[in-house]
């Protein structure tokens, strides 16, 4: 291991400019990689939170047992689908 480190330092000494440019390129590449991975995970977490929030706002559900925080009955998914079906039938009949 010491031989490898000394060889790297020796090549850095003799090829200073090329080595400095290479190190700068490696640092830039790593920083772009870290930035992109952080951005990816931040966006996926935000999209997951928005998806849950959209479902909560649509169905007025705030807990997993389909009840509101104030213990009022919530609209369940089945109720919402029934409402949508009735609304579509009503629109269809009005257009005829």
- State the pLDDT confidence band at 49, using cuts at 50, 70 and 90: confident
pLDDT at 74: 59
* The total number of structural domains that make up the chain: 1
3-state secondary structure the chain: CHHHHHHHHHHHHHCHHHHHHHHHHHHHHHHHHHHHHHHHHHHHHHHHHHHHHHHHHHHCCCCCCCECCCCCECCCHHHHHHHHHHHHHHHHHHHC
Domain that holds residue 83: 2-95
Which carries the bigger pLDDT value, residue 77 or residue 92?
92
pLDDT at position 88 over 80: yes
Highest mean pLDDT among 21-30, 32-41, 68-77, 87-96: 32-41
pLDDT at position 30 over 80: yes
Render pLDDT for 52-71 as a digit per residue (tens, 0 to 9).
Answer: 666 655 555 555 555 555 55
pLDDT at 72: 52
Interval 5-13 mean pLDDT: 79
- State the pLDDT confidence band at 90, using cuts at 50, 70 and 90: confident
């Amino acid at each position: 291991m010491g031989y490898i480190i000394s060889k790297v330092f020796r090549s850095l000494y003799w090829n200073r400019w090329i080595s400095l440019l290479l190190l700068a390129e490696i640092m830039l590449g790593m920083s772009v990689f870290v930035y992109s991975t952080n951005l990816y995970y931040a966006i996926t977490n935000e999209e997951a939170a928005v998806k849950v929030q959209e479902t909560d706002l649509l169905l007025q559900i705030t807990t997993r047992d389909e009840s509101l925080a104030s213990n009022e009955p919530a609209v369940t998914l089945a109720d919402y689908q029934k409402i949508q079906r009735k609304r579509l039938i009503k629109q269809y009949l009005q257009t005829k």
